[in-house]
Structure 1
Amino acid sequence: MAGKIFAILRPAHEPPRISLKGDPDEAERLRATHPAITPGYRLHKRHWNTVLLDGSVPDDLVLSLVDDSYDLVLASLTRAQRASLR
């Protein structure tokens, strides 16, 4: 998306994992409540979480985190960049 990344999927790992951008305060709360959510692997730990897709994190929460990550990156784009995505 306009040269920016909102998700990094690692399907070859067992279990698969996805790294997602997030609000720093929410990221810490999620890490404290879900053992399968850890600081982003090789990413800025304050802004990224890695989620093990082992079934312990509810699917609706994972989908919500994907949506939130996309929205955060989308909001950081210029108006012209956002318009080019349509």
Structure 2
Amino acid sequence: MYNKLIAYCLSHKGAIQDYPFGPDPLVMKVGGKMFALISVPADQAAVRISLKCDPVIAANLREQHECVQPGYHLNKKHWNTVIADGSLPMDDLKAMIEHSYNLVLGSLTKAVRESVLLRIGE
């Protein structure tokens, strides 16, 4: 699951991986801003992925899915942490990654956003 999540995140335009906090978590960024944090806590079997989310949608996802929790060590209004234990279909998880990526991409300045999108064609 860990490698699938990394590959899917990196399939987005301009997405890069970084380790700004040490060896864990792996941070996915676009335009220098985080859109996903992926980790496998030593005391846990399941991968955890934290994703930016619209606050209303974030609250709804938490109500609908036990594996979706407020963002761990993040702004709990705007971030969810998903325990990727198989209870949430991969398509739903991909949609959440896409939503996070699009929120962050949309928050970039026009110049940075265009720079990210132009680099893709190289």
| Global fold match (TM > 0.5) | yes
Equivalent residue for 1:10?
A: 39
Aligned twin of 2:105? 74
Aligned residues between the structures? 86
Name structure 1 gaps, 5 residues minimum.
none
Distance (Å, rounded) in 1 between the aligned partners of 2:70 and 2:81: 6
Relative contact order (alpha carbons < 8 A, sep ≥ 6): 1 or 2 greater?
1
Match of 2:77 among 46, 70, 78: 46
Give the RMSD, CA atoms, in angstroms: 1.0
Q: Which amino acid aligns with 1:4?
A: K
What TM-score does the superposition give when structure 2 sets the normalisation length? Answer: 0.68
Q: Which residue of 88, 94, 113 corresponds with 1:63?
A: 94
Partner of 2:6: none
Task: Give 5+ residue unaligned stretches, structure 2.
Answer: 1-29
Deviates more, 1:2-11 or 1:15-24: 2-11
Equivalent residue of 1:43, what SS?
coil
Where has structure 1 moved over 4 Å in runs of 4 or more?
Answer: none
In proportion to residue count, which structure has more strand? Answer: 2
Counterparts of 1:54 and 1:23, CA distance in 2:
23
Q: What fraction of aligned residue pairs are identical, expressed as a percent?
A: 48
Q: Determine the C-alpha separation between the residues in 1 that align with 2:103 and 2:52.
A: 7
Once the two structures are TM-superposed, the CA of residue 11 in structure 1 deviates from its matched residue by 3.3
